[in-house]
Amino acid sequence: MKQPAANFDEVRRDISALQLYRNARLEFNARIVEASRDKSPEVVGALRSDSTHQLAEFYFLLSGFGIKSVDEFDQLIERHNDYVASLLSDPDKMQRMGLSKDRLLSAIFDGETRPRLLKFWADDPGALDQSTLARFLVAVMSDETARKTVVACGKAGLLERQNSVFRIVLVRSTGLLERVYGQCLRELRLAIQAES
Amino acid sequence: MSSVNLVSRIGLGLVFAIVATGGIGPTNAETRLVSNSSAQPVSTKTGPAPTKNSGSVRRKRGGPESSPADKVNATPEGQSDLIKVLQPGSGQKSK
């Protein structure tokens, strides 16, 4: 079917935008692997996965939204709990997202956990224990995937993993993940703008 | 018939009688296997077996638990929601 010339031009730009989007993801993978201090196939494979990209996006947003103070972090916990509670009252959405009731219940920060997290954040802004990180990512990856991704990023030198009291492992970003994510996203945005 | 022989015969007879009435043997073992087929694996740990929450909303200790069935793939919906949750002042609710 022949398309009108104007429409053909728009479709060409759409395809060009799609190529830029795909290239941005490839570029992210390439830069992260390049920066990795561990070039073993196991770690590199994990760094190229969707879960690493998702984790980078999480840290990029944490930084981009300026969540730094204890109050800001506490408000994030509140928003997260509200979100999980709203999911629990929406069985259709839970099913669409493949989330079980037990899993969501486990993702809530209760009165016992919350003060401890705020203390960690107060002592070291940006530091999260692994289970807390998994809770925040409840809607996008399983806790086991989160754990494996954090371990791989730790080996790569993108995250710092530190044993804390009560056998808790604290995780903090070195800044590289969100920086690379942000760079690739900006380059994509500017390239699409230039195309149009 | 000697007394030893007699005792042996009685003993054997008793064994056969028990087996025939199903006191011990494959039939009961099968029954136990069938009845246990839906039971949880026997734990070697001490303490009460974990049970699922029922009724009120209550969080389990120790954070999210993984299981073979706990396979969550990122959906566009979940990814979009995460952005909204992280955004200060968004008040993200399920839509």
pLDDT tens digits, one per residue of B64-84: 444 444 556 789 999 999 999
Name, in order, each residue with C-beta under 8 angstroms of A19's C-beta and a sequence gap of 6 or more: none
Identify the band that residue A78 occupies on the pLDDT scale cut at 50, 70 and 90.
very high
Burial environment of residue A90 by CB neighbours within 10 A (0 to 12, 13 to 18, 19 or more): middle
- Tell me how many residue pairs between chain A and chain B have CB atoms under 8 A apart: 125
Residue in A62, A79, A108 closest to B91 by CB: A79
Cα-to-chain-centroid distance, residue A70: 20
CB contact under 8 Å between A97 and B77, yes or no, is: yes
A-facing residues of B in 61-80 (CB < 8 A) are 62-66, 69-75, 77-79
- pLDDT-derived band at B89, boundaries 50, 70, 90: confident
Whether A107 and B64 lie within 8 Å, measured CB to CB: yes
Please report the pLDDT score of residue A139 as a whole number.
95
Determine what percent of chain B is predicted with pLDDT higher than 90: 14
Share of chain A above pLDDT 90, in %: 90
Q: How far apart are CA A64 and CA A61, in angstroms?
A: 5
Helices (H), A36-69: 41-47, 50-64
> Which of residues A76 and B72 earns the better pLDDT score?
A76
Which pLDDT does position B74 carry in this prediction?
Answer: 83
**pLDDT category, A195, cuts 50, 70, 90?**
confident
> What pLDDT does residue B18 have?
56
Confidence of residue A96 (pLDDT cuts 50, 70, 90): very high
Residue B88 CA to residue A72 CA, distance in Å, equals 8
**B86 to A65: CB separation less than 8 angstroms, yes or no:** yes
Show the CA angle centred on residue A98, arms to residues A148 and A91, nearest 5°.
Answer: 140
Of A122, A113, A83, A119, the closest CA to residue A99 belongs to A83
* Higher pLDDT, residue B2 or A88: A88
Average confidence (pLDDT) over A107-115: 94
Residue B83 sits at the chain A interface (C-beta within 8 Å): yes
Would the CB atoms of B70 and A143 count as touching at under 8 Å?
yes
CA distances from A147 to A131, A182, A195, B15 (A): 8, 23, 39, 58
Whether ipTM exceeds 0.90: yes
Give the mutation candidate from A25, A100, A112, A140 for the B interface (greatest B CB count, under 10 A).
A140
Query: How far is the C-alpha of A37 from the C-alpha of A43, rounded, in Å?
Result: 10
Per-residue confidence (pLDDT) for residue B48, from 0 to 100: 44
Q: What is the mean pLDDT of chain A?
A: 94
Prediction pTM value: 0.74
pLDDT digits (tens, 9 = 90+) for A118-139: 999 999 999 999 999 999 999 9
At A164 the pLDDT is 80
Name chain B contacts of A140, Cβ cutoff 8 Å.
Answer: 72, 74-75, 78-79, 82
User: Is A177 buried (19+), middle (13-18) or exposed (0-12) by CB count in 10 A?
Assistant: buried
pLDDT tens digit sequence for B4-53:
667 666 666 666 655 555 554 444 444 443 344 444 444 444 444 433 44
